[in-house]
Chains A and B, each alone.
Chain A
């Protein structure tokens, strides 16, 4: 559905200095999947999205959406897009904003009012409908941005930092929204710093750094960790702490009654836990220090364990 083929983007400053925002980026996104893009600040995520929407042209390579140049695709079909910064003229009112965008999105006259009302309702904008954009809080503005993106049923949805500014309740609701948007003929691309969010929502996540695709993580594949992964775990015991050194000789205290187990596979951790339980210990909590996606991310962008 979407294909990046050896895409590069170079910026040149007025003084001739060249900055490579994206290099040799190749990937295919398939209909029916939710695809995540993760990377540190300045990694090239926003450039990637601007290229996908045709707001920038690639310096090298090609991008195709359903076989078309991005700009041609967007101008013919439209894309549901939420940008990282929600840029809407500050003098527009919330409801007016949706009516304007509905017109431009090509929502038919007979369906327009109902669609706008449905979005206001879905995004909880009822009490804000008469407010001007400049009067809205960050979270409400983000919801308005999401509402305008979803005014029409598009086959391509691009969400750049979609939960930025949302409170925990709306962050959870956003996950439900994305889940409800899944469709066999639709691609959803989410760029986010929030790895936990991507781990929950995406099927695959591309990790980019310094403009390069470092790796693509099959999130569904690593959700069940295999026995060979050696991610650090933390353990907290309600009873039998004195048994710990014998079972896990390298366990180190990290405060608040927690101990970190480094360099062990999941199998080794489980064997140790079984030994502890057999000796009468009561395990209060055990969890991986990083999610599987986070672990992959740290490896891909070269963040060491000591910086955690």
Chain B
């Protein structure tokens, strides 16, 4: 018996991700960042070292360099907070769109799974590779922003990006394994979860417990705010990363991913 070399096939899967999805993620992320920067700089001009500064700020921070650093941190905070959520969501959407469903719809599964290969192993690995690819893309984007504007990458930010990707991508993976219109389903789940949690999250009605079947998407902003840096000019203290909430979201995604693998174990591949 000779099994498929699925592990070695990961390099092909990574190549596929970078060519077909990573590039689109970079283009859309760059456009989103550009539009975000354009809009933001109208209200808050990007700080420059030679900007005139008020005496109050000079007194507060002690030196011109420290004022510039504080203004840059404030700018980065607002910029990162405004686009990070969208980038992670779109990145997950691009990475998972049709990951299983396309092969089923287009019939590519026929040659693939005539080989000594299980669908759960193949697509489980594809999920992991796309996750890795997404992190490579996000790291490159963060580093590019760091070169052009100012460094923003931190370990907590990367960890949160990875875990929030898992939250969205896990749901998308399950939907792709179980249904045809996975990307649309992910948008519907995200919007519905946000809506129902916002509307009924504080209800004491027994049925409100059913909300726990949905991910707490209405609180994702808390997560992104916490890793967007410290707004040094604002009076508000920096919020710590709400790790239990991140764990809840990522755990939800992980459970969905495992459920997706289970679906692939039991569900027949041909679409009737």
Contacts and interface: CB of A to CB of B under 8 A. Distances in A.
A66 to B, nearest CB: 12
Contact of B269 (A55, A77, A88, A105): A55
A108 interface: yes
Interface stretch (B34-42, B107-115, B140-148): B107-115
B43 to A, nearest CB: 43
Contact of A87 (B110, B122, B268): B110
Contacts of A158: 114
A158 B109 CA distance: 15
Interface stretch (B6-14, B24-32, B158-166): B6-14
B71 to A, nearest CB: 47
Contacts of B118: 75
A204 interface: no
Most buried by B among A74, A78, A158: A78
Contacts of B270: 50, 55-56
B108 A87 contact: yes
Nearest to A9: B272
B106 A87 contact: yes
A74 B12 contact: no
A104 B2 contact: no
A83 B270 CA distance: 13
B117 interface: yes
Interface residues of B, number: 28
B4 interface: yes
Nearest to A86: B111
B1 interface: yes
Interface string A91-107: 10000000011011111
B48 interface: no
Contacts of A78: 2, 4, 114-117
Contact of A103 (B4, B113, B268, B269): B4
A79 B111 CA distance: 9
A190 to B, nearest CB: 15
B110 A81 contact: yes
A76 interface: yes
A81 B117 CA distance: 14
Given A55-B269, A75-B117, A104 B107 contact: no
7 contacts: A53-B110, A55-B269, A78-B4, A78-B116, A87-B106, A104-B117, A106-B5
Given A78-B117, A106-B5, 4 more contacts: A53-B113, A78-B115, A103-B8, A106-B115
Interface of A: 11, 50, 53-57, 74-81, 83, 85, 87-89, 91, 100-101, 103-109, 145, 148-149, 152, 158
